[in-house]
Structure formats: structure tokens, C-alpha cells
Amino acid sequence: MESYEKMKRVLAEIQDDVDKCRGGNKAAGTRVRKAMQEIKSIAQDVRKEVLDVRDSPTP
């Protein structure tokens, strides 16, 4: 599942910004919110991939 791996990568990339946001850095919070929107889109792609796997005929 390519989309799932992409989601894990995005989450790992924003870890520093999440920590900075907790410390009160407003710019880091903006970057985290932007990444969350991207993750939301990727999650939808994961759902589609799961449905494709579920609905595909097995050999």
C-alpha cells in the first residue's frame, strides 16, 4: 500500500513541528495543520486502496 507508506512518511516528517507547536511556535502549528490536511487526503486514498483490494477477485 503505497499511500499508507506515504502517510507514515508525512507523519514522521512533521514530528519536529509538532514538538515546536507544543512549545508555542505558531508557525510550526500552521505547518502541522497543513500536513494534517495532506494526511486527510492520503487517508482517503488508503481507504480507496483497501476497497480495491477487498473487491478485487482472488485467483
Tens digit of each residue's pLDDT (9 = 90 or more) over 14-38: 999 999 999 999 999 999 999 999 9
Parent domain of 15: 2-55
In this prediction the pTM is 0.80
Query: What integer pLDDT is reported at residue 1 of this predicted model?
Result: 79
Three-state SS letters, 4-35: HHHHHHHHHHCHHHHHHHHCCCHHHHHHHHHH
Q: What percent of the chain has pLDDT over 90?
A: 85
* C-alpha R_g of the chain: 15
- Structural domains of the chain, count: 1
pLDDT of residue 4: 92
What mean pLDDT comes out for the span 35-48?
96
- Looking at the predicted structure, is the pLDDT value of residue 58 above 80? no
b/e code 4-29 from CB counts within 10 Å (16+ = b): eeebeeeeeebeebeebbeeeeeebe
Alpha-carbon distance of 1 to 39, in angstroms, equals 15
